[in-house]
Structure 1
Amino acid sequence: MLLKDKIVIVSGIGPGLGVKLAIEAAREGAAGVVAAARSQEKLDDAEARVKAINPNCKVLKIVTDITDRAQCEALVAATIKQFGRIDALVNSAFVHGDMDYVSSANLDAWAAVMNTNLIGTLKLTQSVLPQMKLQGGGAIVMINTMAARTPPPLGEAGYAASKSALANSAKYLAKEVGKDNIRVNSIHMGWMWGAPVEGYFVWQAQETGVPLETLKAKISSTIPLGRIPTDDECARAALFLVSDYASAVTGAALDANGGSYMP
């Protein structure tokens, strides 16, 4: 079990990767999963699904807006009170924003995207650092995107800009806190088959009249593995980075996209 007895905070619990991170952490033996999201309903769903996988995994649910530092600090304080330590932070919370292009984007709208994806993520990250230093170490992973590596056909300029800034910040942070035995890594996802992407394909099929399986096959043909990775698979790759098996890895960026992007 990759995360046996560890206490793991997962931000951005939602219907896709977020909840799968919590579920897979429990499957890998985490003693406690701290689930953070803006919606109580999503947290309740995550708890039920975690308990179905690992009844012995304790779940702490905290409604949290990561753009609010006080809420980030309250989340950390509640985690310490409940579990006494924080072994891992998985930063999954994000706002996608508009499907836009740099040449024509409403740049004022980028502020909300930056405020969550970069500033909010770093607020929560800064909040866990004192406890990780006190206990002698910890691990942090930033959920990132292939769009920050190479421009996609669809416009995602604002989202990619925020995630690119986060990727660079993760490298700086890794260098700053390495002496404290705190590891910081990034993982870049591409297409992930799960509820959000399936919903997108359903919508596309309705709009275009092209069967869902045909649309899915077209995307799959561009991926070296020949299929769209599932969000379960991508969650497990992310959790590897906060496990002891990655104890020598910090400041790295892992691509979990079936080979769609190869640096």
Structure 2
Amino acid sequence: MLLKDKIVVVSGIGPGLGVKLAIEAAREGAAGVVAAARSAEKLADAEARVKAVNPNCKVLKVVTDITKVADCERLAAQAVQTFGRVDALVNSAFVHGDMDYASTANLETWKEVINTNLIGTLQITQALIPQMKAQKSGAIVMINTMAVRQVPPLGEAGYAASKAALANSSKWLAKELGPSGIRVNTVHMGWMWGAPVQGYMEWQASEHKIPLETLKGQVEAGIPLGRMPTDDECARAALFLVSDYASAVTGAALDANGGMYMP
């Protein structure tokens, strides 16, 4: 089990990758999962699904808005009080924002995206760093996007800008925290088949009067694996980076997109 007996914090619990990160952490033997989201209902659902795969995994649910420093500090305090340590932080919380282009975007709308994806992520990270420093160990992974690696036709300029800044900040963190035994890495996700993407594609299929499988096939034609990775698979790729199997890895960026982007 990759995460046997570890305490894992997951931000951004939601219907897609967020909850899958919590579930897969439990499946891989985590002793505890600290689940963070702005919605208590999402946290309750996550707890039930975690317990279904690992009844022995303790779940600490903390309603958290990562754009609020007080919320981040409260989560860190509760995690340490409950478990005594924090072995891993998986930063999955995000706001996508408008489907826009840099040349025409309403830049006011970028502020919320940057405030969550960059500032908020760094705030929850900073809140947990003191405990990791005290225990002289820890692993952090930033969930990022393939849109940082290549310009997509869909129009995700604001989202990509915020995530590019986070990718750069992750390298700084890796350099700064390495002497304290803390690793920081990034995983760039592409298309992930799960609730959010399925919902988006169903809407697109309805709008354009195209069968869902045809639309999905058009995307998968550009993926060397010939299929869209699932959010479960992508969650496991991210969790590898906080496991002891990646103990020599910090400041790295892993692409989990079926080969759709190759650096």
- What TM-score do the two structures reach when normalised by structure 1? 1.00
Cα distance between partner residues in 2 of 1:163 and 1:260: 18
1:136 Cα deviation from its structure 2 partner: 1.2
Cα distance between partner residues in 2 of 1:11 and 1:256: 19
1:88 Cα deviation from its structure 2 partner: 0.1
* Corresponding position: 1:185 with 2:218: no
Residue 40 of structure 1 aligns with which residue?
40
Partner SS, residue 261 of structure 2: coil
Cα distance between partner residues in 1 of 2:58 and 2:125: 22
1:137 Cα deviation from its structure 2 partner: 0.8
Residue 233 of structure 2 aligns with which residue?
233
Cα distance between partner residues in 1 of 2:241 and 2:72: 22
Cα distance between partner residues in 2 of 1:110 and 1:208: 28
Residue 77 of structure 2 aligns with which residue?
77
Cα distance between partner residues in 1 of 2:76 and 2:173: 19
Uncovered stretches (5+) of structure 2, i.e. residues with no partner: none
Residue 159 of structure 2 aligns with which residue?
159
Amino acid paired to 1:136: K
Uncovered stretches (5+) of structure 1, i.e. residues with no partner: none
Cα distance between partner residues in 1 of 2:110 and 2:153: 19
Q: For 1:197-212, what aligned pairs fall within 5 Å after superposition? A: 197-212=197-212
- What TM-score do the two structures reach when normalised by structure 2? 1.00
Q: Once the two structures are superposed, what CA deviation does each residue of 1:212-247 show, in whole Å capped at 9, x if it has no partner?
A: 000011100000000000000000000000000000
Residue 51 of structure 2 aligns with which residue?
51
Cα distance between partner residues in 2 of 1:95 and 1:201: 19
Cα distance between partner residues in 1 of 2:53 and 2:31: 13
1:58 Cα deviation from its structure 2 partner: 0.2
Q: For 1:1-263, what aligned pairs fall within 5 Å after superposition? A: 1-263=1-263
Cα distance between partner residues in 2 of 1:99 and 1:82: 40
1:105 Cα deviation from its structure 2 partner: 0.2
Cα distance between partner residues in 1 of 2:184 and 2:110: 25
Cα distance between partner residues in 2 of 1:9 and 1:262: 29
Q: Once the two structures are superposed, what CA deviation does each residue of 1:105-148 show, in whole Å capped at 9, x if it has no partner?
A: 00111000000000000000001100000011100000000001
Partner SS, residue 61 of structure 2: strand
Amino acid paired to 1:30: A
Cα distance between partner residues in 1 of 2:177 and 2:10: 20
Amino acid paired to 1:237: A
Amino acid paired to 2:88: A
Q: Once the two structures are superposed, what CA deviation does each residue of 1:126-185 show, in whole Å capped at 9, x if it has no partner?
A: 011000000111000000000011110100000000000000000011000000000000
1:205 Cα deviation from its structure 2 partner: 1.0
Partner SS, residue 215 of structure 1: helix
1:255 Cα deviation from its structure 2 partner: 0.1
Amino acid paired to 2:144: N
Cα distance between partner residues in 2 of 1:101 and 1:201: 21
Partner SS, residue 98 of structure 1: coil
Cα distance between partner residues in 1 of 2:154 and 2:207: 16
Cα distance between partner residues in 2 of 1:205 and 1:111: 31
Cα distance between partner residues in 2 of 1:96 and 1:64: 18
Percentage identity across paired residues of the two chains:
78
1:198 Cα deviation from its structure 2 partner: 0.4
Amino acid paired to 1:91: N
Partner SS, residue 187 of structure 1: strand
Partner SS, residue 33 of structure 1: strand
1:74 Cα deviation from its structure 2 partner: 0.2
Amino acid paired to 1:141: V
